[in-house]
Amino acid sequence: MTNLPVTSESFTIPVGPLHVALEEPMYFRVAVDGETVTDVDINAGHVHRGIEYLATKRTLAQNMILTERICSLCSNSHPETFALAAETIAEMEVPERATYLRVVAGEVKRVASNLFNVAILAHLVGYEALFMHVMQVRELAQDLKEAVFGNRMDLGAICIGGTRYDLDEDTITALTVALDRLEPEIREIEKTYRTNGSIQRRTRGVGVLSIDDAIACGVVGPVARASGLMQDVRADAPYHAYDRLPLDVQTLPDGDVWSRAMIRLHEALDAIVILRACLRDLPDGPVNLGSDPYVPPGRAVARSEAPRGELLYYLKTCDAEEPERLKWRVPSFPNWDALTVMLNRAKVADIAIIVNSIDPCISCTER
Amino acid sequence: MTRLAPDFEKTLRDAAAGDLAITTTTDAHGVSVVWCELARNTDLVAVASRLRAFEARLAMITASQPKAPEEEEDEQDEENSEAGDVMVRATPVTFGGTPLDGTSYEVIYHFILADEAVNLIAHAPANGSLASLTPLFRPADWPEREIMELYGLTFTGHPDPRRLFLDNSIEPSVFERLIPFSTLVNAASTDDLWKKVHAAAKATAIEGE
């Protein structure tokens, strides 16, 4: 390779909007010098659906349904955070049992979402056996969701004032058994990602985001924590029952693709610890405040830690049943910008791996 | 009790030439939310600079066109006007005096500072502009570009004011007008569903006869 003449000519190559390595459409215009990326321009808008406008034409109860459909992987986080905002305006006190049940729904989704991203990483590395194995393990989480909530993706677990589901002895047993099966599997997967040569070679030192760049870009979630930024809404601004649960927020110093995958695997394992504590401490009582609680005019912001990071909702209500304005900022939104830093000086072959490492959600981003 | 610096409120007030309306609420978990409304939108950069000095993170920007407050006596007025009773009602205004007639803009900058949410509110009249915060906060880039394509509001001094999500062929200010669904989806949906609905409605009507 070194014998080839080196040209100073720079080329622009398109990646996307439809690309084998991207699950959703996004267009990157990448300037390359040989095999090295010199500049990236991101062109978005391929799945823009105007949901924010639609939300102002729907009642609050209808928006619980609508927001759950913004994105599939973090589908529970949207109605969860929206409900938090509405409850803040109405000064509602959510029943104790519901705060634990909400954590159960959120953490089950976190396990499945993080495993999915880590699986795709194995696929992009070209380690198809590992990809299929991780997806198989994720299937345990999918089955668990189907058994408890009746659905594999949209759980329909949250309502304003509490939850729409309850756990009885049988479902708690089913959950416990599923968690006991999941935990050793995820531990094994974590060990593989920690030690396997193919994974290490393609992910360590690749797509680095320094802590200074992480702060400047305002990144959130596993991307921030993998760059050494101690930040997790569940710990920083507790909601639900998180201030009573064994939350273990960890950071890694390197800010590379590998660190982001390891943080996600750690958080999948920690979610199981939290889930077990929830099932153990689950208080008795009602799970919601009855149907259609009244939300007076007012405004509120609410935050939660979705699998991909901080999700922020702003809700302004008026006398009408429809919100005057409903706005949300998904965790992927600030993380896109960090890609321009991560991709700078990267190898063309690593572009897909680096893009996947922010666990991008385009349906979320464009709404 | 917030986790913000004790001199937080004073620092912001000192930075602004105009008035500030600051309210703080704290929830049962001890998490606070601060709402800080600017009387003069020209104070935006000065106040935002102080927030940057406090190492705040800009998390989100919300733009909206607040509705004019409900005018309850409307019907009565119409009756009275026949009798020649002319009533002049002043347009309601925001804190700071921007007309609140459904065409002006309210822009909220949601910051995270010391793990608390600090919301900075600025108003701008119809077709107005605000200073861009992108030079101060890199995460303002995409939100400002998005707002500029959804509303007729501009952010002056934005380093890269291109369209973000919407194609250049789409007319601006899409949030300020009704776009029929068939236009939105480029008539890509069929009328199969409606045919079924009409057929079902017809069948029910015949049954009822």
Per-residue pLDDT reduced to its tens digit, A279-319: 999 998 898 888 778 888 989 999 999 999 999 999 999 88
Cβ neighbours, 10 Å, residue A20: 6
B36-94 residue pLDDT tens? 888 888 888 888 888 888 888 999 999 988 887 766 554 544 444 444 445 556 777 77
Per-residue pLDDT tens over the stretch A328-357: 999 988 888 888 888 888 888 888 889 888
Cis amide prior to A334 (ω within 30 degrees): no
Dihedral sign for Cα atoms in the order A355, A356, A358, A363: positive
φ, ψ dihedrals at A113, nearest 5°: -65, -45
Residues of A in contact with B57 (CB under 8 A): 215, 218
The DSSP result for A14-31, as a single string, is EE-SS-TT-SS--EEEEE
B116 contacts A310? CB cut-off 8 A: no
pLDDT of B30 reads 80
For A88-138, the pLDDT digits (tens) are: 998 888 999 999 999 999 999 999 999 999 999 999 888 999 999 999 999
Query: What span, in angstroms and rounded, lies between the C-alpha atoms of A331 and A220?
Result: 6
A178 is written with which tokens?
């599923």
Separation of alpha carbons A100 and A221, rounded Å: 22
The one-letter code for the residue type at B208 is G
Q: Does B115 touch chain A (CB under 8 A)?
A: yes
Please count the helices (runs of H) and the strands (runs of E) in chain B: 6, 7
Inter-chain residue contact A218 with B142, CB threshold 8 Å: no
ipTM value > 0.90: no
Task: Tell me the angle at which helices A169-195 and A128-149 cross, rounded to the nearest 10 degrees.
Answer: 160
CA distance B201 to chain A (A): 24
The single-letter DSSP state of residue B43 is G
Concatenate the DSSP letters of all residues of B1-40 into one string.
Answer: --SS-TTHHHHHHHH-SS-EEEEEEE-TTS-EEEEEEES-
Instruction: Determine the Cα–Cα distance for residues B175 and B184; give it in Å rounded to an integer.
Output: 12
Cβ count within 10 A of residue B88: 4
- A217 to chain B, any CB pair closer than 8 A? The answer is yes
**CA-CA distance, A343 to B166, in Å (whole number)?**
25
What CA–CA distance (Å, rounded) separates B153 from B137? 19
Q: How far apart are CA A347 and CA B140, in angstroms?
A: 29
Question: Does the CB of B173 have a partner CB in chain A at under 8 Å?
Answer: no
* Whole-structure pTM value: 0.84
Looking at residue B188, its pLDDT comes to: 60
* Angstroms from B31 CA to nearest CA on chain A: 6
